Amino acid sequence: MYFNSTVYGLFLIAVFAVSWLLVARRRPARFLVLLVASWFFYACWTEDGEWVGLKYLVLILGSSGLDWFVGNALHRLDRDDPETLGRRRRLLFCSLAGNLGVLGLFKYYDFFANNVSQLTGLDVPLLKWALPVGISFYTFQTLSYTIDIYRGKLAPAKNLGEFALFVAFFPQLVAGPIVRASDFLPQLENRPRLDREALHSGLFRIMEGLFKKVVIADVIGVGLVDGVFANGSQTAGLGVLLGIWGYALQIYGDFAGYSDIAIGSARLLGFRIPENFHAPYKSTSIQDFWRRWHISLSSWLRDYLYIPLGGNRKGPARTYINLAIVMLLGGLWHGAAWTFVVWGAIHGGMLGVNRWWQRRGFGTLPGKLGQVVAIVLTFHLVCLAWVFFRSRTFGEAGDVLDRLCTSGDQGWFAVPDLGYKVWFAFVCGYLLHFLPVPVKARVQALYAGLPSLVLGALWAVFFGFLAYMAVDASPFIYFQF
């Protein structure tokens, strides 16, 4: 049930109607409706025509039960009593081992088994298990709950139902944003209220997300990126550079579009979930990029990995090591492939250089010119790393970079025939990305002020435009992680 499908639209309307019109004033019943809807959403997941969601729903139920039990057990123990430290650590270990163990078996076992076989010549058996959709996201979500209780920063959820809804809430279940219990659980205590602002805010974000996904990401992916990154592609020179720029826009439009729809869907149901992007290609440094890109993951890695490793508190050398560890694991989180590890290593190295540059007191060029130079440089460094992220093997990445430096038969500046839809998506995507924030705010305010009849007509025109621009529907890129 993809967010960019008619089925999801009908599902969201049904859940919206039932949760607000029937049980808006009955908190337990409303939460039960949302929980059952979330489990149903996941259970209906299909891959290659096979219903896989129902069997993988067991993993979500197991993770919810484990961390509910561990969280309550931790809370009952006095964290200031030294005699309970051993028991508290064992409980935390149970949560870490259970969640990461399942994630490791499904996502990483075959990867490491293949590498061991290649290095040693041993015939290591493979599991060949399909990766359950969303497992990387809800695993981090449940772990943060247990760790926060262990640290004394969070009280457990009041009951198992509320905790299960926190884990399985369908707008953010399969690809984030990664929500913290400290942000979500307090919202369950508030009396639900649907007002005009929440309705229009949610619908506007869904419209924005659909535009990014269908009009920008999918069109550029099919019309430009897939051809440039394909095996045996003859595209060279500027055409390859356009393809790399296109992938930067595709993955942003795809993932940010998903996040927009998730945030908008949650808003319609009376919840606020965190922002995940803030114009990442406006970044003036790699450090700034990670404050703007996949914010919920980068903040999770900072709070639960980088800072516990020592952060920047133990000297420059330790800081660089910590950055490298965090980004290597961040790359591996995205997928069980060496190209993802290299992508993480590139970002870890660039973050280290960024910190070294700051420690030396070097700045950027002054004024607007310096800011533009910093943005352009950062963007192209990020694009270089995207080549490895997009490629399945080092050979594919090397081929793309080799063709980038090759003139081809028609010269380096030759541009492939892309068609007007691809050019529209490309130019429009970057123009919208670099729009000043106040302009976007004014557009949203204008949308919210339109009469209902005009809004209905606007949505009709919008759906017609989506149908006109649409290419073959493709799943969101981050579903594979």
Annotated active-site positions, please?
334
**Nearest-angstrom CA–CA distance, 148 and 71:** 9
Contact (CB, 8 A) for 443 and 431: no
Q: What share of the chain is helix, strand, coil (3-state, %, to 5)?
A: 70, 0, 25
Contact (CB, 8 A) for 157 and 185: yes
**Nearest-angstrom CA–CA distance, 1 and 19:** 20
**Nearest-angstrom CA–CA distance, 145 and 70:** 10
Question: Greatest CA span in the chain, whole angstroms?
Answer: 75
42 contacts: CB under 8 Å, gap ≥ 6: 53, 56, 57, 60, 133, 134, 168, 170, 173, 174
72 contacts: CB under 8 Å, gap ≥ 6: 156
The token pair that represents 42 in the structure block: 């996941």
**Nearest-angstrom CA–CA distance, 179 and 370:** 36
Task: Label residue 287 exposed, middle or buried (CB < 10 Å: 0-12, 13-18, 19+).
Answer: middle
